[in-house]
Structure 1
């Protein structure tokens, strides 16, 4: 089983318009409401592929109830940690060409007792899991090292642990030696403390992370695909979407695909990129299912350090 932990889940409303113009009145062509949050999305993709999963999340207010209701038809089991404040709502406005503008609420402020309950439940569930996946932003009131604490809790429970986060929470988690981290290009550059113009810069950063104690590094590169750095080598994979409907959740789908394919080697990287590509072809934050994949279209090769990443969509 794979347990995902999402400290700051959300209701994600996606509005499709012809073109987003600042200050204008817009008529929506289509509106979707999806369960959201990085770990929630990973669990949705895993469940769609028939993999045993469970989504752990804090939940409060009518929004928290609605989030669980939306997950039920997708066969995603949910373990809720009750909180006094309402779960957040996010908005994404998508132009006809796929350009996405996101408006994310900060989320409810968690009390110390609520944070402790989330950690305790994560440790309890980790004892039954192959992987514990700690994902996403932290709501107000959470310590920056919460993901790092989840790494330690998972390790004590015997589960392998993956982290998909950004900023100080990601840096703190890396110092806790997780088995897998999955930054995007911007997050990787933040860890490096400098711009990363070529794939070689990403490889150097990933290798430094591994030398410091991180197990495997999987970096999403937007339109350039993804690169994997692990014990047995480094590979780059890319694919082209047939249409770009929404980029929200693409990284989450990439992580889910990597875990589904065994979380090691070029074959897992191929599946990860196939999932990420399929995700941008879906409306809203709908997660792809195996039937949506075009794995044969993914190109995998040894990582070419000279590949330019300038202009890559983040």
Structure 2
């Protein structure tokens, strides 16, 4: 059992256009609406591949009820809704045929101190029998940048391992609480260590720096350059299978889900992560891959990575 926590969920609206031009009027060729937010995406990916998962989700207003309804129907996914005030946000993604995705994310409803306390209690209640909890995505306005730190401390008290995927001040603050795993992309890891990362060697060095600060594992995604895992078992770099990209939305979340489903340790888990992340990139909108979408044979792993390999892009897979 894995528990996911999405403090700032969204309705993800994905529009497809032939070409995005600033200041122009566009006519979308397709429209898709999914339950969104990084933790929800992780939960959807796990459930699609047969892993039991509970999703703790604050829901607000009519949009929140719509989001909750979109998560029903999977026998592997248990939704733990937490009613809060306000209105759940909507995020807009605009996809072009070459896979380029432009996103506009709303800030989300303000979370009161009382609702933050209720969220911590709901998460602890949901983790009975769980081996991992995933804290993922941006934080809503209101509770402060240390909400994830509070959750890490509370979860460690009940002996649940914690993976965190967030960015900015929330990532900087949670590192001091020593989650068991963090999953930054290149730019997020660069911000965490305060320097540019241009090669695989830079990624390994930065991930090692976080480990020296008490983080057991660092899974750093690097878009078309694959990903690096650095943990107690060593350091590996992996390249994803070749795919035709359709949407990058949720691909990093699928990667984290694959890593946890693969055992969350060493090269086997990294290979699974790369297969899941690439499969999500090949799907439209924020769809999560199932077993038939995965190309495990196309993943290439390197236990002793080419540390001088220059990274092409600093974006999340």
d(CA) in 2 for partners of 1:91, 1:74: 25
Alpha-carbon distance in structure 2 between the residues aligned to 1:114 and 1:265? 37
State the match for 1:21 in structure 2.
21
* Partner residue in 2 for 1:212: 213
Bigger mean CA deviation after superposition, 8-17 or 296-305: 296-305
- What corresponds to 2:279 in structure 1? 278
Q: Which residue of 2 aligns with 1:193?
A: 194
Counterpart residue number, 1:102: 103
Q: How does 1:218-297 map to 2 (within 5 A)?
A: 218-297=219-298
2:58 aligned partner: 58
CA contact (8 A) 1:223 1:240 kept: no
Residue 310 of structure 1 and its aligned partner are, at CA, apart by: 4.2
For residues 289 and 311 of structure 1, what CA distance do their matches in structure 2 show? 27
Distance 1:145 1:133 in 2: 16
**Separation in structure 1 between the aligned mates of residue 156 and residue 314 of structure 2, nearest angstrom:** 35
Aligned partners of 2:221 and 2:228 also within 8 Å:
yes
Alignment deviations for residues 261-289 of structure 1 (CA, whole Å, 9 cap, x no partner): 10011011001000000000111100001
Please report the RMSD computed on the Cα atoms of aligned residues, expressed in angstroms: 1.1
Distance 1:166 1:149 in 2: 16
Are the counterparts in 1 of residues 100 and 247 from structure 2 also a CA contact under 8 Å?
A: yes
Once residues 109 and 57 of structure 1 are traced to their aligned partners in structure 2, the CA distance between those partners, rounded to angstroms, is 15
The DSSP-based 3-state class of the residue aligned with 2:22 is coil
**In structure 2, distance between residues paired with 1:163 and 1:137:** 11
- 1:147 CA drift (Å): 0.9
Q: Which residue of 1 aligns with 2:8?
A: 8
The CA distance in 2 between the partners of 1:28 and 1:41, in whole Å, is 24
1:281-309, Cα deviation, whole Å (9 max, x unpaired): 11110000111000000000122211111
Q: Tell me the number of residue pairs that the alignment of Structure 1 and Structure 2 aligns.
A: 314
**Per-residue CA distance 1:133-187 (angstroms, 9 max, x = gap):** 1000001102101111111111011111100000111111111111110000110
Please state how far the C-alpha of 1:47 moved relative to its aligned partner: 0.5
> Could you tell me how far 1:312 is from its partner in structure 2?
4.5
Structure 1 runs (4+) deviating above 6 angstroms are none
Deviations 1:226-268 (A, max 9, x none): 0000111100111244211100001000000000010011011
Give the Cα separation in 2 of the matches to 1:22 and 1:142: 35
- Native 8 Å contact 2:19 2:96 kept in 1: yes
Deviations 1:17-51 (A, max 9, x none): 00011111111111100110000000001101111
Cα distance in 1 for partners of 2:242, 2:121 equals 41
Distance 2:268 2:43 in 1: 21
Q: Any unmatched runs of 5+ in structure 1?
A: none
Tell me the TM-score normalised to structure 2 length: 0.97
Task: Tell me the distance in 1 between the aligned counterparts of 2:203 and 2:176.
Answer: 18
Provide the C-alpha distance between the structure 2 equivalents of 1:165 and 1:242, rounded to a whole number of angstroms: 26
Q: Which runs of 5+ in 2 are unaligned?
A: none
TM-score (norm 1): 0.98
Contact 1:241 1:280 in 2 (8 A): no
SS in 2 for 1:269: helix
Cα offset for 1:100?
0.4
Q: Could you list the per-position Cα deviations for residues 94-128 of structure 1 after superposition, in whole angstroms to 9, with x for gaps in the alignment?
A: 11111100000000001111011001111222233
Partner of 1:306: 308
Do the aligned residues in 1 keep the contact of 2:187 with 2:314 (CA within 8 Å)? no
